[in-house]
A and B are shown apart, each in its own frame.
Chain A
Amino acid sequence: MKTAPSISANIETAWNLEAHRLAPDEVQVVFSGRWCIDQDLPSSEALHAELTADTRRLSYRSDDLTAWDSGFLAFIAAVQKFCTARGIVIEQSGLPQGVRHLLGMAFAVPERKVSGRKGGRRSLFFQVGTETIEFFHGLPEMLQFLGEVTLSFGRLLAGRAQFRMSDLWLEVEEVGPRALAIVSVICFLVGLILAYLGADQLRMVGAQLFIADLVAIGMVREMGALMTGIIIAGRTGAAFAAQLGTMQVNEEIDAFKTLGISPIDFLVLPRILALMLMVPLLTLYAGFIGMLAGLLVSKTIFNIGVFEYYTETLRALEIKHFLVGLSKGSVYGAMVAYSGCLRGMQCGRSAEAVGEAATSAVVTGILLITITASLLTIIYYQLGI
Chain B
Amino acid sequence: MDTEPHIKIHNLSMGYGDFVVQHDLNCVIDKGDIFVVMGGNGCGKTTLMRALVGLQRPAAGTVFYSGEDFWNVPQEDQERLKRRLGIMFQSGALWSSMTLAENVALPLHEYTALPPHRIDEIVSFKLALVGLAGFEEFYPVELSGGMKKRAGLARAMALDPEILVIDEPSSGLDPLTARRLDDLILELRDSLGTTIVVVTHELASILTIGTNSVYLDTETRTMINTGNPREALKTGDPKVRHFLTRGEA
Residues on A facing B (Cβ under 8 Å): 36-38, 40-41, 43-45, 69-71, 73-75, 77-78, 96-99, 101-102, 105-114, 117-118, 348-353
Tell me, in angstroms, the Cα distance from A132 to B84 when the chains sit together.
48
Best-buried of A44, A351, A353 by chain B (most CB within 10 Å): A351
Residues of B within 8 A of A (CB): 96-97, 108, 112-115, 117-118, 121-122, 124-126, 128-129, 131-135, 137-141, 157-160, 180, 183-184, 187, 190-192
Q: In the complex, are the beta carbons of B134 and A106 less than 8 A apart? A: no
Q: Roughly how many angstroms separate A276 CA and B55 CA in the complex, as a whole number?
A: 43
Other A-B pairs, 13, CB within 8 Å; known A36-B160, A69-B160, A114-B135: A43-B118, A45-B117, A70-B126, A70-B160, A71-B122, A77-B121, A78-B125, A96-B191, A97-B191, A101-B187, A108-B180, A109-B133, A112-B135
Centre residue among B113, B128, B137 by max chain A CB count within 10 A: B128
Q: Please report the C-alpha to C-alpha distance between residue A352 and residue B95 in the assembled complex, in whole angstroms.
A: 9
Highest count of chain A CB atoms <10 Å: which of B113, B158, B191: B191
When the two chains form their complex, are residues B192 and A74 in contact, meaning their CB atoms are under 8 A apart?
no
Report yes or no: B112 in contact with A37, Cβ–Cβ below 8 A.
yes
Of B114, B125, B140, B183, which one neighbours A73 at CB under 8 angstroms?
Answer: B125
Q: Are B125 and A70 in contact (CB under 8 A)?
A: yes
Residue of A nearest to B127 (CB): A106
Q: A74-B124, A98-B191, A101-B187 are in contact. Are A111 and B133 (CB under 8 A)?
A: yes
Whether A351 contacts B187 by the Cβ 8 Å rule is no
Return the chain B residue nearest A114 by Cβ: B134
B137 A71 Cβ-Cβ under 8 A? no
When distances are taken between beta carbons in the complex, the residues of chain B under 8 Å from A78 are: 121, 124-125
A40 to B, closest residue via Cβ:
B113
Q: Given known contacts A69-B160, A73-B125, A105-B183, is B112 in contact with A38 (CB within 8 Å)?
A: yes
Given A43-B121, A111-B128, also A98-B190 (CB < 8 A) = yes
The number of inter-chain residue pairs (CB within 8 angstroms) is 100
Distance to closest chain B CB from A121 (angstroms):
14
CA distance A296 to B131 in the complex (A): 71
Residues in B whose Cβ lies below 8 Å from that of A101: 187, 190-191
The 3 closest A-B pairs by CB, nearest first: A98-B191, A112-B134, A350-B96
12 chain-A/chain-B pairs, Cβ below 8 angstroms: A69-B192, A75-B121, A77-B124, A98-B187, A105-B183, A105-B184, A107-B133, A108-B180, A111-B134, A350-B139, A350-B141, A352-B97
> In whole Å, how far is A47's beta carbon from the nearest beta carbon of chain B?
13
- In the docked arrangement, what's the CA distance between A117 and B136, Å? 10
| Across-interface contacts of A351 in B (CB, < 8 A) | 96
Q: Which residues of B contact A45 (CB under 8 A)?
A: 117
Tell me the complex Cα distance, A118–B120, Å.
Answer: 14
Question: Given the interface contacts A74-B121, A77-B121, does A117 sit within 8 Å of B129 by beta carbon?
Answer: no
Asked whether B122 lies within 8 Å of A348 as measured between CB atoms, the reply is no
* Complex contact A352–B96 (CB within 8 A): yes
Complex Cα gap A111–B187 (Å): 21
Task: Tell me whether A348 and B184 are in contact in the complex, defined as CB-CB below 8 angstroms, given that A69-B160, A69-B192 are known contacts.
Answer: no
In the complex, which of the residues A96, A99, A105 has the most CB atoms of chain B within 10 Å of its own CB atom? A105
Q: Which residue of B lies closest to A38 (CB)?
A: B112
> Are B187 and A112 within 8 A (Cβ)?
no
Check if B141 sits within 8 Å of A353, measured CB to CB.
Answer: yes
| Residues of chain B contacted by A74 (CB below 8 angstroms) | 118, 121-122, 124-125
Q: A351's closest neighbor in chain B, by CB?
A: B96
Closest to A109 in B: B131
Query: Do B140 and A117 have beta carbons less than 8 Å apart?
Result: no
**Do B118 and A41 touch (CB < 8 A)?**
yes
Report the bound CA distance from A78 to B125 in whole Å. Answer: 8
Best-surrounded residue of A36, A69, A106 (most CB of chain B within 10 A): A106
Q: Nearest Cβ distance between residue A42 and chain B, in whole angstroms?
A: 9
* Chain A: minimal CB distance from B124 (Å): 7
**Hey, which chain B residues are within 8 Å of A348, CB to CB?**
141
Contacts of B180 in A (CB 8 A): 105, 108
B126:A37 contact, CB within 8 angstroms: no
Assess whether B141 is in contact with A349, with CB atoms less than 8 Å apart: yes
Complex alpha-carbon distance, A69 and B124, angstroms: 15
* Complex Cα–Cα for A102 and B180 (A): 12
What distance in Å separates the Cβ of B189 from its nearest Cβ neighbour in chain A?
10
Task: Check A106–B191 contact: CB distance below 8 A.
Answer: no
A99 touches B191 (CB 8 A): yes
Q: Would you call B140 and A108 a contact (CB within 8 A)?
A: no
A44 partner, pick from B121, B131, B134, B157, beta carbons under 8 A: B121
CB-CB under 8 A for A112 and B124, given A74-B118, A101-B187, A352-B97: no
* B129:A106 contact, CB within 8 angstroms: yes
Chain B residues closer than 8 Å to A36, beta-carbon distance? 160
Given contacts A98-B190, A113-B134, A114-B137, contact A105 B129 (CB under 8 A): yes
